[in-house]
Each structure stands twice: as structure tokens, then as C-alpha cells.
Amino acid sequence: METGNEKAELHNLLFDLIGDLHNVNVVWQVGVLALSLAVAWWVARVVHLRLMNIRSTEPSATLKIGVGGLNRVVYPLSALACVILGRFVLHRFQHEVNLLSLAIPLLFSLMLVRVAVYVLRSAFKAGGPLRYWERAIVWTIWVGVALHITGLLPDVVEVLDGFGFHIGKQRISVLTILQALLSVAVTVVIALWAGRTIEARLLEASSLDLNFRIVLSKLVKTLLVIIAIMIALPAVGIDVTVLSVFGGAVGVGLGLGLQKIAANYVSGFVILLDRSISPGALVTIDGRYGEVTKLTARYVVVKSLDGTEAIIPNETVITSVVVNHSYSDRSVRVDVPIQVSYSSDVDRALALMLEAARDHSRVLRNPAPGAVLKSFGDSGIDLELYVWVPDPETGTGNLRSDLYRAMWKSFNANNIAIPFPQREIRVLRSRAT
């Protein structure tokens, strides 16, 4: 905690620095500072490459956090060491060092802020919002700390508070808006962290239906965010009733440009509540067949057998016909047609087809496979084998290939021919006149 004397000293240091700008000796300080930053950048780059090699060979969670923390410390720490050394050298040669004296607490505070934000990020989920906003959060906090260190914070606060406007009886200034944004950001991050923790616990509750767990976790996260905003705004002096002024504009926006987005979110909760589809279901939606891998508040992800993923809006799922191949039973029937010649033993061919089906590991015994004579074709007798499989998500083309290969071998061994199209051509000659 800084004392009043320390603050006054730093503030005087800033004014001394302004006075140094008229002195040519300030060039030495700028040169030392620039050289220190360049050396620190080089050291940080070398250390980063070394740490990445260590991290790739030993990918443990503890090492990952340690490497990440060290990466954030190396640059400001190296710059701080170089600046202290340069300040000592210039001071020995009777040069002014006000710029370097001011840079030391700024670099030290930057190092502390980067470490603190990284530790906070590590406490959250790895894919959380702090991962993407870490740099912006670091620089925002550091700017505030730098203004505080230099003693300019009260003046900046006064200037920001001077620009404002009134909404009814409520006065809103630029300072109030910035405070509100900061307060909302902090509370929303905490709310999202709490929501993810609750979501993880809910998804582990196997006694509850999966769709119910998903919709409950989304409702909890939404409710926590709303509560966070309702707490954050009054904390900075903004009356939440002021938000009612924007209610009409939001309603008009939903009625015009945002109606599709609103429809998708409402449809998402409907899908989760009516349990028509769930993660892992095999569906055909809007002509796209695949497995449902993800249900969100806005869209459904359907992964086809070739690995491509279709992102389908929830409104499309609600308004179009959805074929759920695993709604009540996950088993799927696969038909395998084949044709034999008229000279072949049909009963023997049907028995060999059933034998090929029973020998395959993916074919279910109950329901049992079947083989039937389907029709009499132009070139041969049409037969069909039908089997049931419990895992259609692994594909049916490979199953058909295995069954056809087995039937081909058994048919050749038992003199059962598979015909090819044949045509008989007669040439009619006209009588001589």
C-alpha cells in the first residue's frame, strides 16, 4: 500500500520528467528505455520458444500453468532489470534519470497485473471468456494502475465525470458508463464461472434426463447473468429503472431485425423440453443425415458419416420434418439386394445369405436377419437380405460391402451364378419380291 509521501514523490517525479523534456540529456534515458524494451522482447522470445519445447514434451496441466505464468513474467521482468541497470549507469555519470525512475514502478505493476490476471484465468475453465479477453483486461487494469501511480487518476476521473447527460432524473457521465462496464464485466465473468461450475455438476447427474440437464444448465447461466447485471448497475449508482427507457427500443428490434434470432432461442428451449431430439440421436433434418453432436440455444450440430458438420438453426428443426432414426429404438435395418440366375438353387442361395449375415459381428441376433425372394427380374431372380445393426452411426456402406463379399465367395463355392443383363437379338429378313 502506497503512503501519501510515496504518491507525492511519484507525482513530483512526473513533473520532473516533464521538465527534463527540454533537456537534451533525456535522449539518453529514451535510448536506455528503448534498448531495455528491445532486449526484453528478445529474451522473452527466446524463453518462450524454449518453454514451448518443454511443454510439448511434457504436456501436464501443472507444467502448462507454470509455463503460461512464466511467459507473462519474462518480458516485464527482463525490461525491469535492464531499466534498473541503465538507471544505475546513467546515475553514475551524473545524468538525470526521472524517465527511468518512473518506468520502474510501471513495469513492475505490469508484471504483477499480468500474473494476477493469468492466475485468475487459470481458475476458470480453459475455454472461458478470460482466455480471449486476457490481453484487453491486462492493459485496461494496467492503464488504471499507471494513472494511479503517476497521480493523474483524480484529474482523469474529474474530466470523465464532466462529460454526461440526463435520462429523466438520472445523470449518466462517461465515468459512470466506464464504471458500469467494468462492474458488469466483473460480475458477468463471475456469473459465467459459477454457471459453468453448476453446468458441469448438472451434466454429471446421470439420474436426470440429458435434455433436462442441458435446459436447466442454460436457464441457470441466463439467470445468473441477469442477476449479475442487476447487481452491477446499482453498485455504480445507475438506477435499473432507467433501463425501461430502452425496453421499447429492444421490443421494436425484436419485432423487426431480431425476430429470427429470438425465434431460434425460443425454439432451442422447446427442443430441449419436448425431448424430440437429444445429443447422440441419429436424425435427418432438412435433407442432412447424421448424429446430433451438440445442442445450443441457437442451433443444432449434425455430424454426418463423412465427418462434415451441419449447423442447423433451431427454428428449422421446429418448422421442418425431422426424421429421428433413434427416437424409440436405436437399431436400424439395412437392406442388401442381390440377383441370382434362373438356373440357381434359390433355397440354397437364401440359406447362404442368412449364413453370411449371422457371421458378421455387427448384425443383431434379435431382431433376426431375414432373406426373401423379392421378384422375378428380366435377367434373374431378385433376392434381398435385411439385417439390423445397433450402431448405424459407424456407417452402413462398410456393412453392405462385407456382406456382398461374403455372399460372393459362398455363391461361387456353391455354383450359384449372379447374372448380368442379356439381350436376344433376332434378325428378320423380308421375303424376296
Residue 333 has pLDDT above 70, yes or no: yes
409 or 424, which is more confident? Answer: 409
- Within its chain, how far is the Cα of 224 from the centroid? 20
Query: What confidence score (pLDDT) does residue 114 get?
Result: 79
Pinpoint the alpha helices (H) of 256-345.
259-274, 314-319
15 or 325: which carries more pLDDT confidence? 325
Angle between helices 346-358 and 397-413 (to 10 degrees): 130
SS3 for 316-329 is HHHHCCEEECCCCC
71-99 average pLDDT score: 80
Q: Give the pLDDT confidence score for residue 216 in this predicted structure.
A: 72
pLDDT at 293: 85
- What integer is the mean pLDDT of 18-42? 75
- The per-residue pLDDT for range 133-146, each reduced to its tens digit, is 667 777 777 777 77
- Per DSSP, 246 falls in state G
Highest mean pLDDT pick, 173-182, 224-233, 302-311, 346-355: 346-355
Spatial neighbors of 305 by CB under 8 A, at least 6 apart, are: 289, 290, 393, 395
What percentage of the chain has pLDDT greater than the value 90?
9
Mean pLDDT to the nearest integer, 54-67: 55
* Range with lowest mean pLDDT among 35-49, 137-151, 245-259, 262-276: 245-259
Burial 272-292 (b: 16+ CB within 10 A, else e): beeebbbeebbbebeeeebbb
Average pLDDT over residues 79-92: 84
Q: Residue 339: is its pLDDT beyond 80?
A: yes
Query: Where do the domains of the chain lie, and which CATH numbers do they carry?
Result: 4-151 (no CATH), 177-257 (no CATH), 275-324 (2.30.30.60), 332-413 (3.30.70.100)
Banded pLDDT at 401 (limits 50, 70, 90): very high
> Which has more confidence, 21 or 262?
262
Q: Give the mean model confidence (pLDDT) for residues 307-314.
A: 86
| Cα–Cα dist 26/235, whole Å | 45
Contacts of 26 (CB under 8 A, 6+ apart): 20, 96, 99
pTM over cut 0.75: no
User: Can you give the pLDDT at residue 93?
Assistant: 76
Q: Decide if pLDDT at 1 tops 50.
A: no
Residue 371 bridge partners (DSSP): 385
Q: Report, as an integer, the average pLDDT of 336-341.
A: 92
One-letter amino acid for residue 55 of the chain: R
User: Amino acid letter at 365?
Assistant: R
Q: Please, what is the average pLDDT of the chain?
A: 75
Digit-coded pLDDT (tens) for 146-179: 777 777 667 777 777 777 666 666 677 777 777 7
239 band by pLDDT with thresholds 50, 70 and 90: low
Q: Which amino acid, 118? A: Y
- Output phi, psi for 367, to 5 deg: -65, 145
Residue 126 has pLDDT above 50, yes or no: no
Q: Measuring CA to CA, which residue among 133, 237, 266, 243 is closest to residue 192?
A: 133
Determine the Cα–Cα distance for residues 396 and 388; give it in Å rounded to an integer: 10
Give the residue-averaged pLDDT of 53-80: 65
Reading the block at residue 178, the C-alpha cell is 466506464
pLDDT of residue 14: 52
Q: CA–CA distance from 360 to each of 20, 393, 394, 405 (Å)? A: 88, 17, 15, 11
Confidence of residue 385 (pLDDT cuts 50, 70, 90): very high
pLDDT at 304: 83
CA distances from 263 to 298, 316, 383 (A): 9, 10, 49
Q: Cell digits for 49?
A: 520458444
